[in-house]
A and B are shown apart, each in its own frame.
Chain A
Amino acid sequence: MYNFNYQTASSADDAAAKVSASDEGKLLAGGMTLLPTMKQRLAMPSDLVDLSKAGLSGISVAGNVVSIGAMTTHDTVANSKEVASAIPALAKLASGIGDPAVRNRGTIGGSIANNDPAADYPAAVLGLGATIVTNKRSIAGDDFFTGMFDTALEDGEVITRVDFQVPETASYIKFPNPASRYAIVGVFVAKTAGGVRVAVTGASPCVFRASEMEAALTANFSAGALENSSVSANGLNADIHASAEYRAHLVGVMAKRAVAACS
């Protein structure tokens, strides 16, 4: 690890200002990706601006919306009675991220801002059509994830919370990479007020919606309805763990299992 300046932020705006004022500043949420990267000397930020005292953690439910503060840990979400009651699929997703150490440090804001192609939370945000609230604006989930490790966040923009509309039903099933336990493929299926949504993580460089599957499930929300729909292997990730064709196949299998788990 190279030396860096450590700063704490008292608010999201304070964090944004401190990052802007530094040479190569980085926000530090849970640090579950950033810190290992720094330890391997693959990143050398001049400053880390710690968000842990910025007042961004906590869960609240108001009407049909579950709001999760950006600095809320996976463990908190996994064990939240409010989340378990409103969107059990979201609590279950959080309980399956990484290992206990990661879940005790990692945060929802950090996860979606990083937008790792194999992370779990992006599937929930896209699958539930959540809204990402920053210190500057609100961003629709559909517009947020723009590419591999890339989001719609601009310089000086800090996620403060994520608002999830409570769906009629939802489920998330992943097929973990045997080594890293990240998703080789994870599929989040939800029946929402705005229609059926199917979000796929792990399979491609960026989380995406499987529109053919959404159409099939809109007509008939059952696992059987997916028999004839698929995603193309074109453009999907291929690595030593899984070919693009295998990933495309797994999307179908996980989607069916997610739908079956919805009922």
Chain B
Amino acid sequence: MPRDDGIGAAVRRKEDFRFITGRGSYTDDLNRPGQAFAAFLRSPHAHARVDSINVSPAMAVEGVVAVYTGQDLADAGVNGLPCGWQVHSKNGEPMAEPAHPALAQGKVRHVGDAVAVVIAESRTAARAGAEALEVAYTPLPAIPNMKSAKGAVATVHDDVTNNQCYDWELGDEAEIDAALAASAHQVTLSLVNNRLVPNPMEPRVAIGDFDHASGEHTLYTTSQNPHVIRLLMGAFVLGLPEHKLRVVAPDVGGGFGSKIFHYAEEAVVTWAAAKLRRPVKWTSDRSEAFMTDAHGRDHETTVTLGLDADGKFNALKVITDANMGAYLSTFAPCVPTYLYATLLAGQYTTPKIYAGVRAWFTNTVPVDAYRGAGRPEATYVVERIVEEAARQIGVDPAELRKRNFIAPDAFPYPTPVALEYDSGNYAGTLDKAMAAVDYANFKSRQAASKAAGKLRGIGFSAYIEACGIAPSAVVGSLGARAGLYESGAVRVHPTGSVTFYTGTHSHGQGHETTFAQVIAERLGVPIDNVDVVHGDTNKIQFGMGTYGSRSLAVGGSALAKALDKVEAKAKKIAAHLMEASADDVEFKDGQFTVAGTDKSVGFGDVALTAYVPHNFPHDELEPGLEEQAFYDPANFTFPAGCHICEVEIDPDTGRTEIVNFVAADDFGNIVNPMIVEGQVHGGIAQGVGQALLEGCLYDGDGQLMTGSYMDYCMPRADDLPNFKVETQVTPCPHNPLGVKGCGEAGAIAAPAAVMNAVTDALRSAGVSKPIDMPATPSKIWSALNGA
């Protein structure tokens, strides 16, 4: 009988008790003795020269301890923020990589750019001090969007005269142009992937601390990857060695990618704490979050698909402009290139693909990875153009997809865009989704809606993603300045309870439960006897953190490897106890046995023996039972599936209601189906948010028009239907758990499904020109009324 707390069980999340009873310990819950508070003065201009900063009025404010400007940091040898990924343009030149000072030096480049920091005895005094600062700005012409960046009426960075970060390509443009020209059908779409503000529930917080006795610096921060922050901030910004820099990311309330990156505030509070010899705490408010957390998406794309007379895809050409914002955030350059163009094959056998991507600097908040990071943008391009092609050539969109799917027996499958898919069964998830949505009866539902004065539409999204990022050798060759393996350490305590130290980081994903289930399954110990520790560089050996749906595929694999080592050593101890050969010892359900005998010893007895080695084979083994493993995967994993959305539009108001949403996902093996379903729900909610509700807008002067929830529309429960979520299991062939990753699928798949449905509904009313996300009531009404 399978365990009720092992792999495959819908175990309730162990961490939720403390979260839902208010006992979580988030960074803002931490307060250090003698702590001071930081407030940042932020630019009100999108683009301006900073002519002078008079700090005296701020220093005169009661309670103000210190004021620092960009000049102070420069004088102290503090470097700018590094970029972790270098992309080369098609002419071989490295990308433009302008300086990214932690506090502005000479110029401000977006509304919210930090000009100075005021440190005071209270948060109120710090803010009062920041307001008292006198800054003389000379406003400069703003570059609020990519169109104006291309026009180069001004330069965001003086050393980047055309505002272009890079002009990158993948594939042979002339060859693809020729293939398109020879195609029986050519279908083209222009698409905007709207800029999003991540909006994790917990805003960012950073506390710098310095122990003068040991010389150790500590940064408490809201991070998805504390070791990466330690490396970036320690090695590149502040010049602190790892053994004197501890980074702690305790409970973190969501990230969606925005807490991967190293932010200026982290470096400033760490530096200031050492300078002032007292802890310094900064807590972002929501307004600051809107104008300083790295934004997501912001692509403008033209895509052309060529098909032969039978509807087989011949060639795909994608030209994308990607907005980097004012500075290069930590991983920004790889998002519209290696995490995007490499997924443009989708689930299809398209033999020829070309992607040209130009990245631009603008006077806006930096843009970086946001849930899905490049793969939602790729899926949106592929699935919109495939659906458009189906409609234009008059083939059922499901049928057209099936004609072009990579067959289940074709794996491993090398795509024309650099990846080798490891496994998949795309028709399987399409069929499951079609059955769940009752596709066969859609036409009658559409007719019923029409009779009621509503427009009903249906849309598919057969997505694929590359997760479990990734093989260090591959990402290194693509420009990553880091390796992307993961580590895990399993410490078995003397009485058989277990602590697992993982380099991944949980900020909502439920690792404390999922990893514990794997351990319970493998060692036969109750899940309550297992704790998972993460988020502290002084406790965890090393780690690359959590993003890209990598934690179970990479971190779980490191765990599996460490468990293999634990089991191997435990077998040797058991063999000694049972006076047998280790080769004859079997381990199952927490019991070691010797084949063909009735000898048996429990896991707890073996653990105790390891630590109380009165009768121990010291000549063969060391005491103790603790093993560590690093795992560098052989390939990405490739979760895939099909989401289908059905919408009903009220033509009188333009409002869209999602009346049906089904997801059939293939995540490989599943450890906790309840957590997986929750991840899918959340992802779909964010995808629906992007499609219908969310859109970050700047005006012509570069002012953020959607800087609060009054204007930036987050999805609410009543915007969403009950989802029908199903899974298919095609195990990953190259990692020990056979898992693929599930955290981003919803956000990757949903936008195209929703927008294909909206487009279908509008087409039923004779509107053939597609609209862009977010498909707000106002936009839909305008489209229906030719406005």
Contacts and interface: CB of A to CB of B under 8 A. Distances in A.
Contacts of B713: 178-179
A175 B709 contact: no
A178 B777 contact: yes
A180 B709 contact: yes
Interface in A147-178: 175, 178
Given A241-B776, A246-B787, 12 more contacts: A41-B131, A175-B653, A175-B777, A178-B693, A179-B709, A179-B711, A179-B712, A179-B714, A240-B706, A240-B711, A241-B711, A249-B785
B782 A246 contact: yes
A240 B696 CA distance: 11
B25 interface: no
B781 A249 contact: yes
Nearest to B710: A180
A246 B787 CA distance: 10
Contact of B710 (A41, A179, A253): A179
B697 interface: yes
A179 to B, nearest CB: 4
Contacts of A40: 287
B778 A242 contact: yes
B710 A243 contact: no
A174 to B, nearest CB: 11
Contacts of A180: 709-711
Interface string A87-121: 00000000000000000000000000000000000
B697 A240 contact: yes
B399 interface: no
Contacts of A253: 652-653
A242 B776 CA distance: 9
Contacts of A182: 710
B410 interface: no
B482 interface: no
A158 B706 CA distance: 35
A242 B719 CA distance: 19
A14 interface: no
A250 interface: yes
Contacts of B778: 241-243, 246
A50 interface: no
B30 interface: no
A240 B705 contact: yes
Contacts of A240: 697, 705-706, 711
A175 B706 CA distance: 20
A245 interface: yes
A3 B131 CA distance: 14
A242 B655 CA distance: 12
Which 4 residue pairs across A and B have the least CB separation, nearest first? Answer: A179-B713, A180-B710, A178-B713, A253-B652
Q: Give the interface centre of A240, A242, A243, A249 by most chain B CB atoms within 10 Å.
A: A240
A178 B655 CA distance: 10
Given A178-B713, A180-B709, A246 B776 contact: no
A175 B652 CA distance: 11
Interface string A1-45: 101000000000000000000000000000000000000110000
A108 to B, nearest CB: 22
B653 A245 contact: no
A258 B777 CA distance: 19
Contacts of A1: 124
A243 B783 CA distance: 13
A178 B781 CA distance: 14
B689 to A, nearest CB: 10
Interface in A217-263: 240-243, 245-246, 249-250, 253
Contacts of B714: 179
Contacts of A3: 124
Contacts of A241: 711, 776, 778
B128 to A, nearest CB: 8
Contacts of B131: 41
19 contacts: A1-B124, A41-B127, A41-B131, A175-B653, A175-B655, A179-B710, A179-B711, A179-B712, A179-B713, A180-B709, A180-B711, A182-B710, A240-B711, A242-B778, A243-B778, A243-B782, A246-B781, A246-B782, A249-B785
Contacts of B776: 178, 241
Nearest to B712: A179
A250 B653 contact: yes
Interface in B728-786: 776-778, 781-782, 785
Interface in B24-73: none
A74 B184 CA distance: 63
B656 to A, nearest CB: 10
Contact of B787 (A175, A245, A250): A245
A182 B711 CA distance: 11
Contacts of B710: 179-180, 182
A74 B313 CA distance: 59
B379 to A, nearest CB: 24
A175 B653 CA distance: 8
A64 B709 CA distance: 41
A251 B653 CA distance: 10
Contacts of B706: 179, 240
A181 to B, nearest CB: 9
A175 B654 CA distance: 11
Interface in B668-726: 693, 697, 705-706, 709-714, 719
A229 to B, nearest CB: 16
A3 to B, nearest CB: 8
B648 to A, nearest CB: 16
Nearest to B709: A179
Q: Give the interface centre of B124, B131, B652 by most chain A CB atoms within 10 Å.
A: B652
A104 to B, nearest CB: 18
A27 to B, nearest CB: 23
Interface in B340-396: none
A200 to B, nearest CB: 15
Nearest to A256: B652
Contacts of B787: 243, 245-246
A40 B778 CA distance: 29
Nearest to B287: A40
Nearest to A1: B124
Contacts of A175: 653, 655, 777
Contacts of B705: 240
B655 to A, nearest CB: 8
Contacts of A246: 654, 778, 781-782, 787
